[in-house]
């Protein structure tokens, strides 16, 4: 199968989006984008207490659902990383440092979950992932914006 960007990839044979997992990956991607990736911003920029409460409930319910799913799977869709894990990682990496305080997503830290904290550490330790993460820049960008 030809991949659109494989000519630029260091590992062009790696398939993060296998045919048999597409439906599950797409389901998680939709849920994660709406409730987590965008959810933290919806919390931070809520115009009313009622809107904040609603989106905050959704954010933490979804994180609880993800935590429960990770009790039986190493990654969201099984034993290998998929785009759903990548999508979630970007927000989880920033969560305790930026979103917890700055965006008032402070009901629970990622490290307080039984499975989300270890999952985040597991993803971070994948070869070359840590090289894409700069926690000091995250702190600076969110504290000064």
pLDDT in tens, 38-70: 999 999 999 999 999 999 999 999 999 999 999
Q: How many CB atoms lie within 10 A of CB 13?
A: 7
Q: What is the pLDDT of residue 127?
A: 87
The pTM assigned to this predicted structure is 0.87
Give CA–CA dist 129/117, Å, rounded.
16
Q: What is the pLDDT of residue 99?
A: 92
Average of per-residue pLDDT across 72-88:
96
24 close to 77: Cβ distance less than 8 angstroms: yes
Average of per-residue pLDDT across 23-44:
97
Q: Does domain 22-144 have CATH number 3.40.50.150?
A: no
* Confidence class for position 2, pLDDT limits 50, 70, 90: very low
pLDDT digits (tens, 9 = 90+) for 87-137: 999 999 999 998 999 899 999 999 999 999 999 999 999 888 888 886 777
Q: What is the pLDDT of residue 1?
A: 42
Nearest-10 crossing angle of helices 116-124, 49-69: 70
Q: What is the pLDDT of residue 140?
A: 73
Give CA–CA dist 57/74, Å, rounded.
25
Average of per-residue pLDDT across 20-28:
96
Q: What is the pLDDT of residue 12?
A: 79
């Amino acid at each position: 199968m030809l991949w659109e960007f494989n000519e630029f990839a260091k590992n062009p044979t790696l398939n993060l989006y296998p045919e048999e997992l597409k439906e599950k990956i797409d389901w998680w991607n939709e849920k994660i984008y709406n409730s987590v990736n965008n959810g933290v911003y919806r919390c931070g920029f809520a115009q009313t207490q009622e809107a904040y409460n609603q989106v905050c409930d959704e954010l933490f319910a979804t994180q609880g659902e993800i935590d429960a799913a990770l009790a039986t799977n190493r990654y969201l869709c099984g034993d290998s990383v998929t785009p759903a894990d990548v999508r979630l990682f970007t927000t989880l990496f920033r969560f305790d440092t930026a979103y917890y305080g700055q965006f008032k997503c402070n009901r629970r830290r990622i490290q307080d979950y039984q499975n989300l904290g270890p999952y985040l550490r597991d993803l971070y330790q994948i070869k070359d992932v840590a090289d894409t993460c700069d926690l000091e820049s995250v702190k600076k960008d969110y504290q000064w914006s």
